[in-house]
Structure 1
Amino acid sequence: MKNQLYFFLSILLIGTNLFAQGKKPYEDHTVFQINKLDPRADFFAFETEDLAKKNEKELSNRFISLNGEWDFKWVKSLNDRPENYYNPEVNSEGWGKIKVPGNWETQGYGHPIYLDERYPFDETWPDIPYEYNPVGTYRKTIEISEDFIENNRVILHFAAAKAIEVYLNGEFVGYSEGSKTPAEFDITHFVKNGKNLLALQMVRWSDASYLESQDMLRMSGIEREVYLYNTPKVHVQDFGIKANLANNYEDGAFEGSFFIKNSSKKNQKAKLWIKLKDPKGKIVYSASEEILVRKNDSVERIFSEEIENIEKWSAEIPNLYTLEIRLQPNKNVSPSFILKKIGFRSVEIKENQLLVNGKAIYIKGVDRHETDPFTGHVVSRESMEKDIRLMKQNNINAVRSSHYPNDPYWYDLTDKYGLYVIDEANIESHPLAIDEKTQIGNEENWIPAHLERTKRMFYRDRNHPSIIIWSLGNEAGHGKVFETTYKWLKDHDSRPVQYEPAKTADYTDIYCPMYPSPEHLEDYAKNNPQKPVIMIEYAHAMGNSVGNLQDYWDLIENYEVLQGGFIWDWVDQALEYKYPEGKPYLAYGYDYHPDLPTDGNFLNNGLVDPYRNPHPHLSEVKKVYQPVEFKFDKASTTIKVFNKNFFKTLNDEKIKWKLLENGKSIDSGKISINNLKPRTKQDFQIKFDKTSSKNELILQVFLKTSSDEELLPANHLLAFEEFVISAFKGSGFKLVNNDGVNIISQSDNFIIKGKNFQLNLDKVSGEIKEWKYNNQLITNEPIQLNFWRAPTDNDLGNGMDKWAKIWKTATYNYTSKLIKQPVLNDKRVAFEVAYALPENIAKVNVAYEVNSDGDLKINYKFEPLKKELPNIPRIGMYMILPNDFKDLSWYGKGPEESYWDRKTGQQTGIYSGRIEDQFHRYLRPQETGNKTDVRWIRLESENLSLSVYATNSLLNSSIWPFKMAEIDLEENEKAASASGLVPVTKKHGADIKLGETLQWNIDYLQMGVGGDTSWGRLVHPEYTIKPNPYSYSFIIQPNLK
């Protein structure tokens, strides 16, 4: 039973120590609660069974919501806070209004601050600031009836609020710290019939702020619901459920501990009933007991039972049982009914592996912050439902509550729909933890504050089957503090406990590194590992990122001790702001506070944007995380299907396949899967006519849902793969009769003129000055060299704008010379241009050929001339075109953008779309829109088409409705990050303007996007462009439509 002395010891401490020192509670880290009720599980006791089954507390007469509009006064300094705000005789005339729950900063009071590794205030450790330390004062008048109060216990519930002191009707109720777990106060002796004044005051930065320095937008306010509820004097105070497995994981082991409290002044009897129903509603266990509860005391009753052939809970098959609890105090008091969904599953570590239900599962996870573009840290149920729907639809099976306990409804969803959860204590003191001299993980006088947060997380959330691991916190130092909190959790629960700063020490059960390199993981796995590895953060998804994810998973699936990880992170944390003219944009950095230090865009690391629109890299995650693996044996035309699930059998599923010839389907079929058990394989022979061809043949295989499932619609793609049957052989250059082609020499130009085209060349530079087809302008600018890309966030983080600057200079400052004048021979006109790069670092020779149809073939050769040159961001060329071209189609990877190290999630095919849609508005403008493995790509205007064909190797290509300068980093734009991370910029995705011209990039290669980190790690070597010789060619073909 929980320690009932804790509250009284807190009061004793306050009386003898705090006020004697003259400190306020929000200044002293040894005081974190006054009069606050003990933590308990999340539940509501209804007055009828029908209401309990509906499980909507808003329908109960025992519930009064305090959400909505409150009177509010905000001041900038602690020195200016109202002193007598709680006095009913003092009115709040002239105060503003605020919505609860709600952040101050999203409602016009103060501003958000974003910092990662610094506190958002000028700290003089361990003191708190006074001059700039906003204070919010709330008042609300509540009408309460006599029926609500009479013979009842009345409780005030804050689901989440920062440091607050609370008054009711002018009397002090209590004080609470800890912004992400509930604070409850017994107000039975303060409340009265009729109007009641509830007043509270919140300090933005208290001593608790030293423990809440998470990497997120820093805001203040009451962030979850506030309400009153009543209970009979004899009531269910708390309950804890252990629903484990027994007998080789086949049976359920149920144990329920129920705490019954009597807050009256006389001994009372009560009767407790429990029922346990299986997922179909059948009662599998029931029990009851008469209980005598002495006055002002509580008792514990434990019920246990072994249940045969249990239907187990897992993220793949989230079976839930229904626990019904009924307490009848006496005949004159209405009973209490509680309904709780529970799941039977086991979680353990054996032989250096994390096992769920006896199976060494993989964690295919994401880290998730609670954030909304309009309401900040206040997240609606609809938003949570959207999150879990998107996660399940993209093969994500786990989520970490980074870095604090989430809204209780989130865990109801993860229980119901199936996600493995790491629940993390609301503890991070990162700025102090950076330096061993200041880190507080070894400071014994900080143990109570840390332990309090750990306990409140545990007691609130312990009954959720989806929570399979506890986390002691994030980046908060190491030592005795966490040895203590680890031991407390292990003494109270069997689930594994993890803590990243502990590394492989005894107070973590899992080695959970952040952003380890593949080399580090492999080295650990090969050298006598003592703990399972689950990366607590990896694949930093900032901007255009998440490269080489498949490479990580190839390694993970090769070593038993490696069991996956959590991608940082799920959602960008920007808020929507508006320009003066009303245009919305997603704000970051200096948008919030132009005069304070910031870490800029570093909080936008999501797989989805703040509105929950997927970024292009989410499809890569979906593919890498997919639950089925396909292989193909060409000789026997056999598809090998491996069910990668650990619990879910594939039954009555349909696999579809199709054979593409040059991108077009020429054959297709279906395969029925019956009873393909977890972790097993089946072979299916298919038949198609062509197994070789002079054309490219690709076999594609798809697994889709056959009917609607929870959160997954029918025909939803679960997994796919593609196999090359006959490889791409390139496009030939059409040689036709050269009749009618003339070369005209003018003073400054050569004019190559055919029946339907005219190409003007500069006689000195050799560059194309104008190109027309059928008297329509194709371009009046040269086809230009390109070695640069607009830096991604990862590029900025590793200094690409500095170490590769020579290639940016080369892109905009090369010179060219016509070295072979146009000559008509062999049914074509040929000429050659030599390009000299600045400082003689390299040279490029381009041989051009034109046939009588006006097709232009480009043969490109790059040769470095100096040693020790940096890697090259891009090898390619680009054209500037009029924006008459509106549409495009291509044969390559699609439909979304792809990159050298991030193309697994895209399928080869023929795609089409509008040119204006061929880029992604990342929150900070950067490289976007690339298409890999391009065989051909075609632009179309009203009358003209312009096609590019790969001749000897697949191309990369992108088409932007603007020039690269629109998304490139401006030389004077960036500033230093306050924490020394990615440089801070000011441009927004919403700022990108569509131009009068288009830029068409036709590249041999572009380096990968990377993503191990965004603050230094380079793109993996196998996806870099080393300064070696390169050559490629392509054909540009104009045609009338």
Structure 2
Amino acid sequence: MHKSTYLLALILLVLGCQPDREPHEDHTVFEINKLPPRADFFAFESPEKAWDGTKERSNNFIALNGDWKFHFTTDPSERSKDFFEPNLNDSDWGSIPVPGNWEVHGFDKPIYLDERYPFTTSWPDVPEDYNPVGSYRTTFELSQFWKDKSVILHFAGAKSAMYIYVNGQFVGYSQGSKTPAEFDISEYLIEGENLLALQMYRWSDASYLESQDMLRMSGIERDVYLYARPKAFVSDIGLSTDLDLENGNGVFDAEIQMVNQADQEVTRTLEVLVTKDSKTLAQQRETVTIGAKDTLLWRFDKTIAEIKPWTAETPELYQASIRFEDEANKENAQFIKKAIGFRNVKIENQQLLVNGKAIYIRGVDRHETDPHTGHVVSRESMVKDIKLMKQNNINAVRSSHYPNDPLWYDLCDEYGLYVIDEANIESHPLAISADTQIGDTESWTPAHLERVQRMYFRDRNHPSIIIWSLGNEAGTGRVFQTLYDWLKKTDTSRPVQYEPAEDEGYTDIFCPMYPKPEKLVHYAENNPKKPSIMIEYAHAMGNSVGNLQDYWDIIEKYPSLQGGFIWDWVDQALEYKDENGNPYLAYGHDYHPDLPTDGNFLNNGLVDPYRNPHPHLNEVKKVYQPVGFAFNSTQDTLELTNKNFFKALDTHYVAWQFVKDGQVQQTDSIHLNLGPQHCYTLPIKQPDTSEGEWLLQASVRDMEGNIAYAPEHEIAFAEFPLTPFSSKDITISKSAPMQVTKEGEHIRITGTNTDMVIHGKTGEILNWEAYGKTVTLHPIRPNFWRPPTDNDLGNSMHEWAAIWKKASAGYQAELGHLPQPDSLNRTAFSISYTLPQNIAEAQARFVLDTDGTLEVAYQFIPKKDSLPNIPRLGMKMMVPNTFSTAQWYGKGSHETYADRKTGAKTGIWKGSIAEQFHRYSRPQETGNKTDLRWFRLNSPELSLTVSPTDDQFMEGSIWPFLENELDFVPGKDGGQSASGLVPVTAKHGADIKIGDTFQWNLDHKQMGVGGDTSWGRLVHPEYCIPAKAYSYSFKIIPKKL
């Protein structure tokens, strides 16, 4: 609460400033005349308005959001020199909405870089030739209610550095883009219309501390408003809460700081209430006297019995109300209301404990981003984010990499998310090298400390914030020890973490980035001294998040491993439009064609910029689910475990069903009343499973729902195979005789309901009809390639596996023997495929019957040692666009892969072929289906069904286009990225066009998608396809509809 160290930092700032530099060029000057940091609250003029909580309805509030006059230049020397003059003629200026990023409103361009600064100068210099400057002007009139009150100008967030003027007079200077800047402008105001003017630099010395992996943009990003306060006022509130774990009582500690700016002492009534559901639980009222030009700190503490604790599972909130009132003049009253929660956070025995329980962090990292407004994020967008997180079993969020909009923390308090609040500190480009990092440069300490302090004072009253973070990827050194020491001394109720510190003394948590699973095991098994929570893991770039379940199998095995935060929540792309007005999600050189870029490396979300879930969000929901299932087939029991630590499953029920060959045979359900961390054993009688393939499927649903999701929402599911899959042995009747005729270089095979033409030398299919309808006009070909995913590009799969792409396109086919009838009068022929450089060969035997059923038996035989892993092993065929729907029995309904299918259910699924792929921001492999028992395409007159004939599941996909729509196309300069982490590409998901010919992939296997990182880590070995001998077989059955 006390700000003595903050004031000391300001004194050091003034003493250490460099007179030959402007403030925005001097890292020792980061504020002038800015008011000290304080908690986020608003003082209303009545208890009714305070309870309503909408500051826009208060007489003490004037919003300045809206269109402001705006002048822009890229050359600082050409900036407006008299922008602040009241008599300036600004009629030729443009306008810009506030809040609003310049770059999304036609002023300059966004830049996307990961590890580099968006300018070429180096510390301590600031760019001069190209450093865009925006000059703003707006006017306002004061409220009639504001007579004799102080007027405070509030900027909730502006980037990067700004000089503020009112009515032509200099008010102050500010940098630090993600925490508020407040100025007392009372002495500059006049009656009638007032002019507010400011000038903002895109880059300043502050930019060296704000190099986060995000779109680099500028401008006023959060609300701007004025508020009035009396001469005697509440200047700050600290509402500390704790939970007595012995008896369940809540401990409430309020520190109220009051200031009297008047020339004489004042007497006021100060009252603090704690209530829940209109019931008063704690109350203290006192008459306080504050001396002239003085500050008074008042404290009230109270123990409250039988408290309902706050957790992310049970976000129980209480209301703290503060009344500061002049009994003789009610117009000077202030009423403040803040939600509080009682909880206890500590580290004990190498574990992070919340309310005495070693919780799991099932988290995500989140940037503030919107496809239309950039870094200006609406309440509606925040609510959508938090509801989606809760619906998908996410219980924690990291404010990567800066303090978020204050409303976000209110929502986390209300909906229930654990939060790591992170300081707006990242000097990544400097931190890469020990020679350039500034963590040991003492002159940088005040600038770092100010950012931590402003975060702390603004956000300290939120129960959802359980950990402070000193920043991200900003190096190591004495500066961070200072930040840690200040936070630990100031706030004893929360741990502090900092990833680069690792085992150093200035982090309470070991919080690695992207550790390999084996590294987690090594840490857990070697006497860990701190809890381990991955600050970033499972890099969700493009088609990703493979092997997530494998991570959690390890996490749940070791007590010191407590989860992590997936990078990250949402793709950060902006929506642009092409020359025809069609929208697409921009990345890389779309933003700034002439500057280096890191391509689509900003699109790593579980949801797209519009908050539409990517397929891998299903995997996250399943792996993060709060219910465990175990089926004992010998005892006919299903054991359910409530993995929650605080929330009972008492508004829930479990439903289960037995499924035979995709058809539900028996169903039942039972209401649950299962306490946290408790198990329940449910007797379940199995049916006769002697015939067919049987599954048991179970689902837990919430009957009542909550503010995040509707009733009947499924929170968890599981399925258990009861019998193995076996391809059905169907007695094949003798086919009617078929005709085989040679027609020049071609061979025609004709049956009662089928007609096929193959090449006389290669044996490949040139035309195939069934029941008078076209099946394909192309060969059924071996396929070893997939369009690279983002993870594939990051590990150079397009280079190390290029031989398999050449194999798919450059094999030599040869007809093994002329088609001839078998014992059932079916016609059989075989093809040998020799791959380029004779690295391998493949053989396929085709058997066609008179009704058009085609059986295919495929073998792959490598011919050389040390061949790389194969991206895909299977066959592909092209079908006409007359086929419109797909149906399959396997995992669904979304795409799945060998290492990402835990979150999919086995069932019979159906959908439009046009929807059987996902438009990632960059086209790539998509739409795969695993554990296929059969796969069917339907047209109005014909269906084609593929099913395995060898007791092995198949994989497959149907694309309403050909593979080249998805394949990798390097961007300019050969696709070299600024960081060198991933290649830069040139295609967009919106570019994918539905074609006249569809590609049907009929695979034996496809490599997993990976998920550790997107810049080098390979798919885990168990999900790869080593170059060895394989065989599989299937049949294609046409049927007239």
Whether 1:1019 and 2:1016 are equivalent positions in the alignment is: no
| Bigger mean CA deviation after superposition, 158-167 or 328-337 | 328-337
| Same amino acid, percent of matched pairs | 56
- In the alignment, which residue of structure 2 is the partner of 1:985? 985
User: Aligned to 1:977, what secondary structure does the other structure show?
Assistant: coil
Selected match of 1:885 from 848, 872, 883: 883
Q: How far apart are residue 1012 of structure 1 and its match? A: 0.3
TM-score scaled to structure 2, two decimals?
0.98
Residues 641-668 of structure 1: CA deviation (Å, up to 9, x unaligned): 0000000111142111111111111111
Q: Is the 8 A contact 2:971 2:986 kept in 1?
A: no
- In the alignment, which residue of structure 2 is the partner of 1:466? 464
Q: How far apart are residue 687 of structure 1 and its match? A: 2.8
Q: What is the correspondence of 1:37-116 to structure 2 with a 5 Å cutoff? A: 37-116=35-114
Q: Is the 8 A contact 2:784 2:872 kept in 1?
A: yes
Q: How far apart are residue 553 of structure 1 and its match? A: 0.4
- In the alignment, which residue of structure 2 is the partner of 1:954? 953
Q: How far apart are residue 126 of structure 1 and its match? A: 1.3
Looking at structure 2, the residues matched to 914 and 672 of structure 1 have their Cα atoms a distance apart, in angstroms, of 36
Q: How far apart are residue 693 of structure 1 and its match? A: 2.7
- In the alignment, which residue of structure 2 is the partner of 1:636? 635
Q: What is the correspondence of 1:857-1006 to structure 2 with a 5 Å cutoff? A: 857-952=855-950, 953-970=952-969, 974-1006=974-1006
- In the alignment, which residue of structure 2 is the partner of 1:282? 279
Looking at structure 2, the residues matched to 410 and 145 of structure 1 have their Cα atoms a distance apart, in angstroms, of 29
Looking at structure 1, the residues matched to 13 and 535 of structure 2 have their Cα atoms a distance apart, in angstroms, of 38
For 1:955, give the aligned amino acid. Answer: M
Residues 386-431 of structure 1: CA deviation (Å, up to 9, x unaligned): 0000000000000000000000000000000100000000000000
Q: Is the 8 A contact 1:352 1:561 kept in 2?
A: yes
Looking at structure 1, the residues matched to 278 and 954 of structure 2 have their Cα atoms a distance apart, in angstroms, of 59
Q: What is the correspondence of 1:691-840 to structure 2 with a 5 Å cutoff? A: 692-732=689-729, 735-827=732-824, 828-840=826-838
Residues 734-772 of structure 1: CA deviation (Å, up to 9, x unaligned): 522122322223442332211010122222111111111
- In the alignment, which residue of structure 2 is the partner of 1:606? 605
Q: Is the 8 A contact 1:145 1:194 kept in 2?
A: no
Looking at structure 2, the residues matched to 842 and 11 of structure 1 have their Cα atoms a distance apart, in angstroms, of 74
Q: How far apart are residue 2 of structure 1 and its match? A: 2.9
Q: Is the 8 A contact 1:140 1:198 kept in 2?
A: yes
Selected match of 2:368 from 370, 375, 382: 370
Q: How far apart are residue 11 of structure 1 and its match? A: 7.2
- In the alignment, which residue of structure 2 is the partner of 1:331? 328
Whether 1:205 and 2:203 are equivalent positions in the alignment is: yes
Residues 253-292 of structure 1: CA deviation (Å, up to 9, x unaligned): 11111101111111111121011013x2211110011111
Q: Is the 8 A contact 1:948 1:1037 kept in 2?
A: yes
Q: What is the correspondence of 1:413-428 to structure 2 with a 5 Å cutoff? A: 413-428=411-426
Q: How far apart are residue 238 of structure 1 and its match? A: 0.3
Q: How far apart are residue 821 of structure 1 and its match? A: 2.4
- In the alignment, which residue of structure 1 is the partner of 2:548? 549
User: Aligned to 1:255, what secondary structure does the other structure show?
Assistant: strand
For 2:798, give the aligned amino acid. Answer: D
Whether 1:673 and 2:691 are equivalent positions in the alignment is: no
Q: Is the 8 A contact 1:841 1:865 kept in 2?
A: yes
- In the alignment, which residue of structure 2 is the partner of 1:238? 236
Looking at structure 1, the residues matched to 101 and 669 of structure 2 have their Cα atoms a distance apart, in angstroms, of 53
Looking at structure 2, the residues matched to 972 and 194 of structure 1 have their Cα atoms a distance apart, in angstroms, of 56
- In the alignment, which residue of structure 2 is the partner of 1:586? 585
Looking at structure 2, the residues matched to 247 and 1018 of structure 1 have their Cα atoms a distance apart, in angstroms, of 46
- In the alignment, which residue of structure 1 is the partner of 2:451? 453
User: Aligned to 1:312, what secondary structure does the other structure show?
Assistant: coil
Aligned residues: 1035
Q: Is the 8 A contact 2:971 2:985 kept in 1?
A: no
User: Aligned to 2:819, what secondary structure does the other structure show?
Assistant: strand
Q: How far apart are residue 206 of structure 1 and its match? A: 0.3
Q: How far apart are residue 707 of structure 1 and its match? A: 1.8
- In the alignment, which residue of structure 1 is the partner of 2:1032? 1032
- In the alignment, which residue of structure 1 is the partner of 2:557? 558
For 2:597, give the aligned amino acid. Answer: T
Q: 1:50 to 1:410 in 2, by over 3 A?
A: same
Looking at structure 2, the residues matched to 965 and 671 of structure 1 have their Cα atoms a distance apart, in angstroms, of 51
Residues 464-488 of structure 1: CA deviation (Å, up to 9, x unaligned): 0000000000000101000000000
Q: Is the 8 A contact 1:11 1:34 kept in 2?
A: no
For 2:274, give the aligned amino acid. Answer: L
After superposition, the CA RMSD in angstroms is 1.3
Q: Is the 8 A contact 1:938 1:946 kept in 2?
A: yes
Selected match of 2:853 from 855, 879, 885: 855
Q: How far apart are residue 104 of structure 1 and its match? A: 0.5
Q: Is the 8 A contact 2:643 2:677 kept in 1?
A: yes
User: Aligned to 1:317, what secondary structure does the other structure show?
Assistant: coil
Q: How far apart are residue 499 of structure 1 and its match? A: 0.2
Residues 936-980 of structure 1: CA deviation (Å, up to 9, x unaligned): 011111111111011121010100010001111136775100011
Q: Is the 8 A contact 2:971 2:984 kept in 1?
A: no
Q: How far apart are residue 9 of structure 1 and its match? A: 7.2
Give unpaired runs (5+ residues) of structure 1.
none
Looking at structure 1, the residues matched to 949 and 719 of structure 2 have their Cα atoms a distance apart, in angstroms, of 23
Looking at structure 1, the residues matched to 803 and 10 of structure 2 have their Cα atoms a distance apart, in angstroms, of 64
- In the alignment, which residue of structure 2 is the partner of 1:121? 119
For 2:564, give the aligned amino acid. Answer: G
Residues 820-871 of structure 1: CA deviation (Å, up to 9, x unaligned): 3222122132221110000000010111112232211111110110000000
Q: 1:835 to 1:639 in 2, by over 3 A?
A: same
Q: 1:331 to 1:4 in 2, by over 3 A?
A: farther
Q: 1:914 to 1:13 in 2, by over 3 A?
A: closer
Looking at structure 2, the residues matched to 233 and 299 of structure 1 have their Cα atoms a distance apart, in angstroms, of 14
Q: What is the correspondence of 1:302-321 to structure 2 with a 5 Å cutoff? A: 302-321=299-318
Residues 560-608 of structure 1: CA deviation (Å, up to 9, x unaligned): 0000000000000000001121100010110110011111100000000
Q: How far apart are residue 442 of structure 1 and its match? A: 1.1
Deviation beyond 6 Å, 4+ runs, structure 1: none
Q: 1:41 to 1:971 in 2, by over 3 A?
A: closer
User: Aligned to 2:957, what secondary structure does the other structure show?
Assistant: strand
Looking at structure 2, the residues matched to 472 and 17 of structure 1 have their Cα atoms a distance apart, in angstroms, of 23
| Bigger mean CA deviation after superposition, 651-660 or 107-116 | 651-660
Q: Is the 8 A contact 2:13 2:446 kept in 1?
A: no
Q: Is the 8 A contact 1:779 1:881 kept in 2?
A: yes
User: Aligned to 1:726, what secondary structure does the other structure show?
Assistant: coil
Q: How far apart are residue 733 of structure 1 and its match? A: 5.8
Looking at structure 2, the residues matched to 11 and 345 of structure 1 have their Cα atoms a distance apart, in angstroms, of 36
Q: 1:237 to 1:444 in 2, by over 3 A?
A: same
Q: Is the 8 A contact 1:671 1:684 kept in 2?
A: no
Q: Is the 8 A contact 1:7 1:35 kept in 2?
A: no
Q: How far apart are residue 333 of structure 1 and its match? A: 4.3
- In the alignment, which residue of structure 1 is the partner of 2:512? 513
Residues 789-833 of structure 1: CA deviation (Å, up to 9, x unaligned): 000000000000000000000000001111132221221322211
User: Aligned to 2:163, what secondary structure does the other structure show?
Assistant: strand
Q: How far apart are residue 18 of structure 1 and its match? A: 4.2
Residues 161-214 of structure 1: CA deviation (Å, up to 9, x unaligned): 121110001111000110000000011111122111100000000000000000
For 1:597, give the aligned amino acid. Answer: P
Q: 1:732 to 1:816 in 2, by over 3 A?
A: farther
Q: 1:9 to 1:358 in 2, by over 3 A?
A: closer
Q: How far apart are residue 8 of structure 1 and its match? A: 8.6
Q: Is the 8 A contact 2:536 2:565 kept in 1?
A: yes
Q: Is the 8 A contact 1:47 1:336 kept in 2?
A: yes
Q: What is the correspondence of 1:622-633 to structure 2 with a 5 Å cutoff? A: 622-633=621-632
User: Aligned to 1:452, what secondary structure does the other structure show?
Assistant: helix
